[in-house]
Amino acid sequence: IAQSIGIPSLPADVSAALAPDVEYRLREIMQEAIKCMRHAKRTVLTADDVDSALSLRNVEPVYGFASGDPLRFKRAVGHKDLFYIDDREVDFKEIIEAPLPKAPLDTAVVAHWLAIEGVQPAIPENPPIDAIAAPTENKRTEHAKDDGLPVDIKLPVKHILSRELQMYFDKIAELTMSRSSTPVFREALVSLSKDSGLHPLVPYFSYFIADEVTRSLADLPVLFALMRVVQSLLRNPHIHIEPYHITSKRATLVYCQLHQLMPSMITCIVAKRLGHRLSDNHWELRDFSANLVASVCRRYGHVYHNLQIRLTKTLVHAFLDPHKALTQHYGAVQGISALGPSAIRLLLLPNLQTYMQLLDPE
């Protein structure tokens, strides 16, 4: 400060007299800055905390012009190890004549076609096919940034159906929807339960069954046929119901066949109404679906540990809900009974007295 006002050398006694006061003022400002930092729930002191401390002490604020340029340090005259930041004076005219920064873009929504009839348009918004195509290797080993441990990344596998498999799927779907009472459909069920080359069709059958069950709740023969298709697929020893990837022209999907089939089977157990006529034998469909779900739990319970837990929660909820229809209560009782004596003992018997009170008005 003395050098800036024209005093080239400050006497030693003046420096000794000023030093304690400077130290006191600095310590006072820094204590206020630390309080500001703690009130801001931070552990790192910043320049803003010092500015806040100066304003709290009614000290004249530090004026200046913020710049993104790197800081320039200069050596203090006469001191080998003392440096300070060189704050150059900026002319107002220079600031006024500087070009304005670009305005930020407004938030907007832009629509474009991902695909049209299965073909991706070549537009800038869509990535090129080469960028999303899976490489020849199904796995890649990369090194994590933090610990350097190798990580296996499973990339999507392109799924291509042969012409024969497509025709087979279309024929099974046609028989299921319109000719489920014919001997040809029974032969198709035998084929589904024994043939060894049907594994690529499993995700397509899963989606087909889930979609048609939702649409055909009023068509009892179709629901029965769909459940028989599920039974045949589960009986096939060459089919593994497990998660895997499918990449098509439209999208990349991860399928878990079992978790996609279970809601369809549970719907056929506890749906309020199955079929469109009162004379429809929906009781038989509920019994068949309950036994089917129980067989799934016995076969895959060790792989999916929460499978039976989620199933029993759904069935118990349908069983004890007084607002559900009696057909739903029947399906829930059949579903729990199919799981075996332990499920009956743990889930049905403790709630039997409560349920009998619900049946009194009937």
Q: Give me the CATH number covering residue 304.
A: 1.25.40.770
Residues 333 and 228 in one domain: yes
Residue 216: which domain range?
163-359
Residues 174 and 76 in one domain: no
Q: Decide if 221 is inside a domain.
A: yes
> Containing H/E element for 85?
strand 83-85
Residues 206 and 317 in one domain: yes
Return per-residue pLDDT of the chain as tens, 362 residues.
788 888 888 888 988 898 999 999 999 999 999 999 999 999 999 888 988 999 898 887 776 656 667 778 888 888 888 888 877 777 888 888 888 888 887 888 878 787 776 677 777 777 665 554 544 544 444 444 455 555 555 445 455 678 888 888 999 999 988 888 888 988 999 999 888 888 888 888 888 888 888 888 888 888 989 999 988 988 888 877 654 444 444 444 434 567 778 888 888 888 888 887 777 788 888 999 999 988 888 887 777 777 888 888 888 888 888 888 888 888 999 999 998 898 889 888 988 888 888 888 77
Residues 74 and 215 in one domain: no
Residues 196 and 56 in one domain: no
Q: Decide if 252 is inside a domain.
A: yes
Q: Decide if 171 is inside a domain.
A: yes
CA 159 to chain centre: 23
Q: Decide if 46 is inside a domain.
A: yes
Residue finishing a domain among 47, 77, 95: 95
- Nearest to 259, CA basis, from 209, 196, 220, 221: 209
Residues 233 and 352 in one domain: yes
Check if the beta carbon of residue 223 is closer than 8 Å to that of residue 217: yes
Residues 190 and 309 in one domain: yes
Three-state DSSP class for residue 310 = helix
Q: Decide if 251 is inside a domain.
A: yes
Residues 39 and 170 in one domain: no
Residue finishing a domain among 72, 95, 118: 95
Residues 173 and 56 in one domain: no
| Beta strand segments in 208-272, E | 244-247, 252-255
Say which CATH number the domain at 19 has: 1.10.20.10
pLDDT of the residue at 31: 95
Residue finishing a domain among 95, 122, 155: 95
Q: Decide if 118 is inside a domain.
A: no
Q: Decide if 241 is inside a domain.
A: yes
> Containing H/E element for 140?
strand 139-143
Paired residues of 84 in beta bridges: 74
pLDDT of the residue at 204: 86
Check if the beta carbon of residue 274 is closer than 8 Å to that of residue 222: no
Q: For residue 319, what are the contacts with CB-CB under 8 A and spacing of at least 6?
A: 329, 332, 333, 336, 347, 348, 351, 355
Q: Decide if 312 is inside a domain.
A: yes
Residues 56 and 172 in one domain: no
Residues 210 and 300 in one domain: yes
pLDDT of the residue at 140: 47
How many domains in the chain? 2
Residues 88 and 173 in one domain: no
The alpha-helical segments, DSSP class H, found in 117-201 are 129-132, 163-178, 183-194
Residue 47 CA neighbour count, 13 Å, CB half:
3
- Nearest to 318, CA basis, from 267, 254, 244: 267
- Output DSSP code: residue 346: I
